[in-house]
Amino acid sequence: MEFVFFITGNVEHPLTIDPTVWIFDDRKVDLTTYFTESKKEEDSLTAYKKAISAQWDKEITEGAQPPSQTNDNRVSFKKEELLHGTFAMKLEPFLSHTKPVNPSALAIETTTGEMITLDWDKATSCLLKFSDNGKPLTENGPVHILYGDGSNLEAPITNVAKLIVK
């Protein structure tokens, strides 16, 4: 079984994606709470302004700090969470990175030969489940596709081999 899948079709930049590295990605979402928590989405400009404002306030009250001479690019994570968590990534950033040309639908080709088609709006709200109880999806993976509303949480689309933008 391969641990990669592809995004191809009517795109400028086809992608080959390896979901085994997503466990350390800050964009992952915890599926144990994702569909039960209330979602409060903030646009990127508002988030940027809040971060800049907080940094400004810190520098005013504490003074500016010179850059550290050590490498601060450390991966921070909670080991227990990673060892036992169930995680997914949003599909939309990957689809937009391919620069689709006039997309209308997304066809999902599975390793079992099945072809499932979703309209574009539904496809962009989907999640890619890549971990279940701390383990990669090796039997029927590499990812499972969940609808953005969680309606197929108990029966996700499995055995994903390729996503084809139509």
What DSSP letter does each residue of 61-84 carry, written as one string? HH---PPPSS--------HHHHHH
Q: Please tell me the predicted confidence (pLDDT) of residue 153.
A: 93
- pLDDT at position 130: 96
5-39+77-165 CATH, one of 3.40.50.360, 3.40.50.20, 3.90.420.10, 3.40.640.10: 3.90.420.10
Residue 27, number of CB atoms within 10 A of its CB: 8
pTM of the model: 0.76
pLDDT reported for residue 63: 77
Q: What is the pLDDT of residue 50?
A: 86
Show me where the domains of the chain are located.
5-39+77-165
pLDDT in tens, the chain (166 residues): 578 999 999 999 999 999 989 988 888 999 989 988 766 666 677 888 888 888 888 888 887 776 655 555 555 556 777 778 899 999 999 999 999 999 999 999 999 999 999 999 999 999 999 999 989 998 898 999 999 999 999 999 999 999 999 9
Dist CA 38 CA 57 (whole Å) = 29
